Structure 1
């Protein structure tokens, strides 16, 4: 059985945001806070063993929010390199599992994360989120997958591992991933805030 208390949260916040233009995407305002802080807030009461933020070029201060900050010095090496930084830190902390989440997914809820833990089955766990069609992050991996995660390369992240895991289905709206400025405009418009952040 896996529990949050023995799990490291890895927040991937080191992407180059090439599709968003040159802005600090994670610091872009959405509702009452920077985009990346929505997931941080949603999961703040989940009692993780440790919280690790893998960052590159962002002005946001994750350390002030209780995260151990791991710089990703060369984001051009892809998401897998950032994931390796996080998994290495989780291993050093003695975690039994890692929950990998993306900082640009502002609508993920704690309820969904707990459903993922309900679906976990120990050290061999691979549990991913799904909109009913495509599995993806957030994703939960037991410690027997750590070495496989550390061997990943490029921008695929844990995609191939995720495909063979258990998938917890939730609303597509919860799994919105803000990759482009248009994505952010659409999200703001859903809340009646088309001019938010202009």
Structure 2
């Protein structure tokens, strides 16, 4: 178990949202509030040691929600850049783990996050949500993986590292635990090969992920 008080939240909110044209996707109304505020409200009572919001061209006011704002001035460089910027900011708070979440996933719940934290088994932990088939964000990384996350670059958070092994823990819990025989250098490739780290609305859509309510 890793305590929420020793965990930094990094909320990625700098996607280009090309499928929405010129619209600011995160401010589009969805079930009574802006799309990007659903996860913010859902996690507001979780006592993270810090909350980092990585943004680009959005009017969503994460600063007023208690987030330290990091601006991705080159969102076209891909999600890996946002990931690296967020981890850099979060690491300054010396957390035991970093939770990576996407702002366009409105069905994330605090219960889900506490289950990820409960299932983490130390510095080498990687614990992800799942749709019952493959790992999905939010995902929790223990501190042993911070250096690899800081090497993230390009489209889907790719880091220069080898493959990771994963074992699925079953659809009832919707949690995947990932163990690394080769150490923390495996985390980046897992982001690319096992987790479709996307902030767009291509299939499977973040709006339809069957994660906990």
Q: Distance in 2 between matches of 1:8 and 1:31?
A: 27
* Structure with the larger helix share: 1
Equivalent positions of 1:1-198 (< 5 A) are: 1-157=1-157, 164-165=165-166, 169=171, 179-180=200-201
Asked if structure 2 preserves the Cα contact closer than 8 Å seen for 1:127 and 1:165, the reply is no
Per-residue deviation, residues 97-123 of structure 1 (Å, max 9, x unmatched)? 100000000001111111111110111
Q: Distance in 2 between matches of 1:182 and 1:134?
A: 13
Structural RMSD (CA): 2.6
The unaligned stretches of length 5 or more in structure 2 are 175-197, 209-213
Asked if structure 1 preserves the Cα contact closer than 8 Å seen for 2:11 and 2:53, the reply is yes
- CA shift in 2, pair 1:165/1:93, >3 Å: farther
Count, aligned residues:
181
- CA shift in 2, pair 1:127/1:64, >3 Å: same
Q: Distance in 1 between matches of 2:156 and 2:202?
A: 22
Once the two structures are TM-superposed, the CA of residue 157 in structure 1 deviates from its matched residue by 2.0
- CA shift in 2, pair 1:44/1:91, >3 Å: same
Once the two structures are TM-superposed, the CA of residue 161 in structure 1 deviates from its matched residue by 8.8
Q: Distance in 2 between matches of 1:104 and 1:63?
A: 17
3-state SS of paired residue (2:120)? coil
Structure with greater contact order relative to length (CA < 8 Å, sep ≥ 6): 1
- CA shift in 2, pair 1:182/1:24, >3 Å: farther
Asked if structure 1 preserves the Cα contact closer than 8 Å seen for 2:15 and 2:200, the reply is no
The unaligned stretches of length 5 or more in structure 1 are 172-176, 188-198
Asked if structure 1 preserves the Cα contact closer than 8 Å seen for 2:26 and 2:35, the reply is yes
- CA shift in 2, pair 1:75/1:178, >3 Å: closer
3-state SS of paired residue (1:90)? helix
Once the two structures are TM-superposed, the CA of residue 179 in structure 1 deviates from its matched residue by 3.1
